[in-house]
Every structure is written in structure tokens, then in C-alpha cells.
Amino acid sequence: ILNVEQSPQSLHVQEGDSTNFTCSFPSSNFYALHWYRWETAKSPEALFVMTLNGDEKKKGRISATLNTKEGYSYLYIKGSQPEDSATYLCAFLDDYKLSFGAGTTVTVRA
């Protein structure tokens, strides 16, 4: 069982504000880190797959960075909108299996 931790557990953001949150994971034997977005009453959907130290990925207003040497990844939301409200899960890939963090639940207030 790999220890993948996300913080904070939840956060509230005013519409238009930017925010970020963290995923920490084992820094040894790194293969890939995944980010998933999970909206209420839906199933998790992939946002990013990150494999290289220093990787930066972007999808619209959401971006992520990766530091494999120290074992952390940040996910950023710029100019938050109500539709960004969701739980964001990170997952560490090990031997084709994912170990998930508990998620950061983002609520964007209009």
C-alpha cells in the first residue's frame, strides 16, 4: 500500500479567485502520477498523466506541476468558476495499479 496524501481535504473558493492544492507521494521508484476530477454524481475522469520531473500540464484554467525528486505535485485552478467544483484525486502509478489519495474537494462560491 503506497502512501499518497492530499491537502487540504477541502477548500472553498470565491468565484474568480485562483487556488492550488498538493499531492505528496513516494519519491522512489516513480513511474507516473495521475490527476482525476470527480464531480458529484459522476465518475472520476482523467485530467493529467505526468511522468517527468518538472512536467507541467495544462487544460483550460487547470494546470499541474510535478516534482518527482521531492515527491509532490501541485494542481492549480486559475480564475475559479462554479463548474470547477469537484473532488480532485491524485494517484500514484505502481505496476499498472493506481494508489489514490483521499482527494481535495473544491467548492466554488458564486
Partner 1 sequence: DADVTQTPRNRITKTGKRIMLECSQTKGHDRMYWYRQDPGLGLRLIYYSFDVKDINKGEISDGYSVSRQAQAKFSLSLESAIPNQTALYFCATSGVGDTQYFGPGTRLTVL
Name the minimum Å distance from CB 95 to partner 1. 10
Name the minimum Å distance from CB 33 to partner 1. 11
Name the minimum Å distance from CB 68 to partner 1. 16
Nearest residue (CB) to partner 1, 80 versus 90 = 90
Nearest residue (CB) to partner 1, 1 versus 110 = 1
Nearest residue (CB) to partner 1, 15 versus 39 = 39
Radius of gyration of the chain (CA): 13
Q: What are phi and psi of 43, to 5 degrees?
A: -105, 155
Alpha-carbon span 37 to 89, nearest angstrom: 6
> Is there a cis peptide before residue 82, judged by omega within 30 degrees of 0?
no
Report the interface residues with partner 1, using CB under 8 A. Answer: 1, 4, 9, 32, 34, 36, 42-46, 49, 89, 91, 93, 96-103
Name the minimum Å distance from CB 14 to partner 1. 25
Task: Give the three-state DSSP class for 41.
Answer: coil
C-beta separation of 48 from 104 below 8 A: no
